[in-house]
Structure 1
Amino acid sequence: MSASVPWRPAGAQPTINPTPAPAYNTVSARRSFDKPDSAPTPPAPAPPKWPPSVRQYVQRSFTPEALDASIPRDELEKMLKKIITEATEANALYTTDWDNHPLPQQLILAQRAKNANLDKAPWRNHSATPEKTMKDVCDGPLAKKRKSPEGMTNADDESLPPWRRTNKRRIEDRIEPTSPVVRSLSDRMEKRHHISPPNGSSKYTSDLERRRQRFENDKAGGQSPRPWNTSSRSDSPSDANDGPVVGTCQNLEKRYLRLTAPPKPETVRPLQVLEKTLELLKSKWKKEGNYTYICDQFKSLRQDLTVQHIKNDFTVTVYEIHARIALEKGDLGEYNQCQTQLRALYALNLGGHPAEFLAYRILYFIYTQNRTDMNEVLADLTSADKSQPAVKHALDVRSALALGNYHKFFRLYLDTPNMGAYLMDMFIERERLAALANLCKAYKPHLNIRFLTDELGFDSFQDCLQFICDRGAQEHLEQKSDDVVIFHTNPFSAQLFAQAKAVAFRRVDLKGQM
């Protein structure tokens, strides 16, 4: 007897399903090509965080008093976008002085004025068409010169050079016995040079006579003409062959005026007066310190020495004193002029302090990053030059910077002989930026400000703090106690000083550079 199945009623026969159930689920085919629901759109990136100075710069650009009716708003926005984009690409958003940066409308007006000046240039003829311009060129003087000599008239004879006047005959005339080809040598030379009778009417003859007299006077007097008369010809040979001026002026003080004509003796001071002038200027500089007055008087003194061709130990002293005063006041233009003249004077062995100014020259080339002239100076150095203390110090400064030894460099800065510290002051700031950028990479996680003060050659603790704050790094400073302040050397501070270093090491170009 079979067991009963609980879900089948009694007496019911089991049903046999001839078709078994499929082992998969039927899925209907896709009838359309609609895109499935896309993934949710990611949120838009947050706008960049501009420095407060940039935001204030944008606000100033759209203030009513800054707007210009001639500048459309879209042009103004385009220029503003260009300014900020260029600053962002150059990593100069935090280093640019936005408070003093020109507004976009000012730049637009300046560009318009520049374009207007170019359009008004004399070489631009806007009214001339290409056809007219080409016709003028073809009919101009150059076209006339290209014409055949057979087409010339008698009226054009005077405008022709001698060789064209001689050879403007036709071929038939050139083979005749009377042509210049078969003439004697003397006749041809006379025709070629147009030698006139000795009556003085020919300009060629008069020039020869003037030249002969000039050379005779030079041979007899042994004096060279004035340098300001060499470019122009004088009618009187004696005027062109005068020697150097001998001054008669007795005034100790005289304003500097640029020469536009040969100087007069009554306006030039002789050597004995110039020596008294130098003593007066030295005493006035110590008492008053008026650089504008002193510089003007020294330039006048140097001018009187030049026009009188005075080159002696007094001349060297004048140029050295003026160069030192210019260094003290940071006037590199006047310093360069004095340094250039001193090189020529030192070559004459007139005394002075050549080693001192050779050291200045090396430090100056370090400041201007002039490697070409620096290599020339190093090639000309002798063993005696290298043994001089000032020159040895300047060479040590160059070596320390070339090796990246900033510790030695700042020790040398604090022990600079003569007036070399004035030149080193001109590039000490950029070297501090370079050293601080390296310190941010080498020391983690922070540095004591006392250590930075000693390592970077600052005079005081406050000067070091001020240097860091002036570069916008005050947020990286932390005061631990009353006398302990630390500087955090994180990647942000390292990047900040790296950017400041790149800006500081741009090429130096000075007017009057040697």
Structure 2
Amino acid sequence: MAAPPPWRSGAASNGYTSVEARRSFAAPRTVGSSTTTTTAAATSPTGGGAAKTTFPDPLKQYVARTFENIAEADKKDVEIELKRIITDAFNEKVVWSINWDEMPLPQVILQKRRNSQGQQVTNSDKSPPLKSFGKFSISDTKKRKSAGDDTTITNKYTERSDKKARQQSPYTGFSDKLSQRDKEKRATRFAKELRAVTPPIERNINSTTHMDIDVAQPLVGRCMTLEKRYLRLTSAPDPDNVRPLHVLEKTLELLKKKWREEQNYAYICDQFKSLRQDLTVQHIKTEFTVSVYEIHARIALEKGDLGEYNQCQSQLANLYAEGFTGQEEEFKAYRILYLLHTCNRADMNELLAILTPTDKQHPNIQHSLQVRSALAAGNYHKFFRLYLDAPSMGGYLMDSFAGRERIAALACICRAYRPDIDIRFLTEELGFESDKECVEFLCDHGAEELIQQKVLDNGTTSIRLNTQKASPIFEQAKQNAFKKVDIKGQL
């Protein structure tokens, strides 16, 4: 007869097996007489090959001494140093063999680093002899790039710790493959490395760079020059190269005057970027800041620089949201037209959702919404009427996608009108200023051979486009025109 299943025999007959609760990270206890043996092996440094997973008592006392008398300001640095010491001891498998009673406290090590001022501690140090471990000796300055460079040592500690941690966590146990003699040697090298104190990684008290800058206070510029080239910052701004607010106000007036007289966009754009940079580094957010971004945005639109315009409108949206006043309705209208250019339906829906009834009464916004409706309905006749009657700077924005919509309209016209169509009709419907401009547009898109002069029945002469042959040309051109547009407004 087959033996009964385990859960039906002995102490398990009541439906469960009694197991002692596990109350530590040591090896799990087993039921029976083997429990005591397993626990002893787990807590002993020579537990017959069993994994050592608990902290030795001397280490616990070392941690307690560390936090007995410690200033609150130094607590974070001391915790980081203590963690490094313990982690390295675990990784090198010397946590049980090292003499923790003679180990210097982390705050002592940190203090020696601060006192060293970039100089390595010499062999005449009067501190108690320590034990160490490691594959290199940091007391040997010839093996280091610089006596004041602690980065190399820290990187070695970090790389070694990360590699060991990936292979085996220090809290899951260590193997006892190394002999006791090897462990003692590693413990000796470990303590010596800790004794060889090096200066802090990111501290150089001899440095005089920007010593006159109080990082706790906002930066206030001291430059009195009105015109200054734009240079991308690669370090902390120097107050001597930053213009204060009253100088920036004079700079803006000068730039407006030069733009009216010279129309040099490359120069003006560079100066406005420099002006905006000085406002940013000084954290100046006022109505003057709004005015600077609005003027730069309008100039960028006039010159068709949608990338620079997009940067300005993004900052303007943030400034308006923070409560700074300006021509908000005007730039909301521009935003609608810009999103039509980029075919960004998601952002368009978000913008339409936040428009208030007051916003919708503004003439610029009304015009932009009508443009959107015309394109959504495929009403090209209405679209080009709105294009010719755009308020403010809206016409410049519509220039960016009017050509694309002309191609789409021509594809539609070529399907509807056969066999040909009068150029005059195209000029009026597609918003061209003259028949010559219309013909140039058709030639630019490969329809030059399809434009012909024809005598009508009433004896008049007409220049016409062969729509039957032009249809595939503009269908292909339409597919190419409606490519995805990037954030800078470029294909």
TM-score range, shorter chain: 0.5 to 0.7
Q: TM-score, normalised by structure 1?
A: 0.56
Partner of 2:228 in structure 1? 254
Residues 239 and 407 from structure 1, CA distance in 2 versus in 1: closer, same or farther, beyond 3 angstroms?
Answer: same
Residues 280 and 473 from structure 1, CA distance in 2 versus in 1: closer, same or farther, beyond 3 angstroms?
Answer: same
Q: Report the Cα distance in structure 1 between the residues aligned to 2:106 and 2:448, rounded to whole angstroms.
A: 91
For 1:244-323, what aligned pairs fall within 5 Å after superposition? 244-323=218-297
The 3-state SS of whatever aligns with 2:315 is helix
1:489 to 467, 471, 478: 467
Q: Report the Cα distance in structure 2 between the residues aligned to 1:183 and 1:333, rounded to whole angstroms.
A: 65
Q: Are the aligned partners of 1:322 and 1:335 in contact in 2 as well (CA < 8 Å)? A: yes
What is the one-letter code of the residue matched to 1:500?
A
Q: Report the Cα distance in structure 2 between the residues aligned to 1:328 and 1:497, rounded to whole angstroms.
A: 29
What is the one-letter code of the residue matched to 2:217?
G
Alignment of 1:394 with 2:394, yes or no, is: no
Q: TM-score, normalised by structure 2?
A: 0.59
Alignment of 1:505 with 2:482, yes or no, is: yes
What is the one-letter code of the residue matched to 1:456?
L
The 3-state SS of whatever aligns with 1:480 is strand
Q: Report the Cα distance in structure 2 between the residues aligned to 1:190 and 1:395, rounded to whole angstroms.
A: 72
What is the one-letter code of the residue matched to 1:495?
P
Partner of 2:109 in structure 1? 202
- Amino-acid identity (%): 55
The 3-state SS of whatever aligns with 1:260 is coil
Instruction: Identify unmatched segments of 5+ residues in structure 2.
Output: 1-42, 68-78, 84-102, 115-200, 206-210
Q: Are the aligned partners of 2:310 and 2:488 in contact in 1 as well (CA < 8 Å)? A: no
Partner of 1:9 in structure 2? none
Q: Are the aligned partners of 1:247 and 1:308 in contact in 2 as well (CA < 8 Å)? A: yes
2:410 to 436, 445, 452: 436
Residues 418 and 175 from structure 1, CA distance in 2 versus in 1: closer, same or farther, beyond 3 angstroms?
Answer: closer
Deviates more, 1:469-478 or 1:312-321: 469-478
Residues 476 and 191 from structure 1, CA distance in 2 versus in 1: closer, same or farther, beyond 3 angstroms?
Answer: same
1:412 to 364, 386, 395: 386
Partner of 2:193 in structure 1? none
Shift of residue 460, structure 1, vs aligned partner: 0.9
Shift of residue 271, structure 1, vs aligned partner: 0.9
Partner of 2:3 in structure 1? none
The 3-state SS of whatever aligns with 1:357 is helix
Partner of 1:80 in structure 2? none
Q: Are the aligned partners of 1:174 and 1:181 in contact in 2 as well (CA < 8 Å)? A: no
Residues 349-400 of structure 1, C-alpha deviation per residue, up to 9 Å, x if partnerless?
2111111111111111111112222222222222222222111211211111
Q: Report the Cα distance in structure 2 between the residues aligned to 1:423 and 1:483, rounded to whole angstroms.
A: 37
Alignment of 1:424 with 2:398, yes or no, is: yes
Residues 14-42 of structure 1, C-alpha deviation per residue, up to 9 Å, x if partnerless?
xxxxxxxxxxxxxxxxxxxxxxxxxxxxx
Aligned residues: 321
Shift of residue 205, structure 1, vs aligned partner: 11
Residues 173 and 441 from structure 1, CA distance in 2 versus in 1: closer, same or farther, beyond 3 angstroms?
Answer: closer
Q: Report the Cα distance in structure 2 between the residues aligned to 1:239 and 1:198, rounded to whole angstroms.
A: 35
Residues 298 and 197 from structure 1, CA distance in 2 versus in 1: closer, same or farther, beyond 3 angstroms?
Answer: same
The 3-state SS of whatever aligns with 1:251 is coil
Q: Report the Cα distance in structure 1 between the residues aligned to 2:224 and 2:422, rounded to whole angstroms.
A: 64
The 3-state SS of whatever aligns with 1:451 is helix
Residues 397 and 248 from structure 1, CA distance in 2 versus in 1: closer, same or farther, beyond 3 angstroms?
Answer: same
For 1:112-511, what aligned pairs fall within 5 Å after superposition? 169-171=45-47, 180=55, 189-190=64-65, 194=82, 200-203=107-110, 241-480=215-454, 484-490=462-468, 492-511=469-488
Shift of residue 240, structure 1, vs aligned partner: 6.8
What is the one-letter code of the residue matched to 2:484?
R
The 3-state SS of whatever aligns with 2:258 is helix
Q: Report the Cα distance in structure 2 between the residues aligned to 1:271 and 1:332, rounded to whole angstroms.
A: 28
Q: Report the Cα distance in structure 2 between the residues aligned to 1:389 and 1:204, rounded to whole angstroms.
A: 69
Q: Are the aligned partners of 2:341 and 2:489 in contact in 1 as well (CA < 8 Å)? A: no
Partner of 1:151 in structure 2? none
Residues 238 and 474 from structure 1, CA distance in 2 versus in 1: closer, same or farther, beyond 3 angstroms?
Answer: closer
What is the one-letter code of the residue matched to 1:202?
I
Shift of residue 268, structure 1, vs aligned partner: 1.3
Q: Report the Cα distance in structure 1 between the residues aligned to 2:64 and 2:430, rounded to whole angstroms.
A: 81
Shift of residue 239, structure 1, vs aligned partner: 6.1
Q: Report the Cα distance in structure 2 between the residues aligned to 1:181 and 1:499, rounded to whole angstroms.
A: 78
Q: Report the Cα distance in structure 2 between the residues aligned to 1:234 and 1:359, rounded to whole angstroms.
A: 51
What is the one-letter code of the residue matched to 1:484?
S
Shift of residue 282, structure 1, vs aligned partner: 0.5
Q: Are the aligned partners of 2:342 and 2:489 in contact in 1 as well (CA < 8 Å)? A: no
Q: Report the Cα distance in structure 1 between the residues aligned to 2:464 and 2:443, rounded to whole angstroms.
A: 13
Shift of residue 475, structure 1, vs aligned partner: 2.9
Q: Are the aligned partners of 1:316 and 1:351 in contact in 2 as well (CA < 8 Å)? A: yes
Q: Report the Cα distance in structure 1 between the residues aligned to 2:213 and 2:389, rounded to whole angstroms.
A: 56
Q: Report the Cα distance in structure 2 between the residues aligned to 1:472 and 1:175, rounded to whole angstroms.
A: 80
What is the one-letter code of the residue matched to 1:488?
N
Q: Report the Cα distance in structure 1 between the residues aligned to 2:397 and 2:423, rounded to whole angstroms.
A: 26
The 3-state SS of whatever aligns with 1:479 is strand
Q: Report the Cα distance in structure 2 between the residues aligned to 1:358 and 1:201, rounded to whole angstroms.
A: 61
Shift of residue 431, structure 1, vs aligned partner: 0.6
Q: Are the aligned partners of 2:66 and 2:106 in contact in 1 as well (CA < 8 Å)? A: no
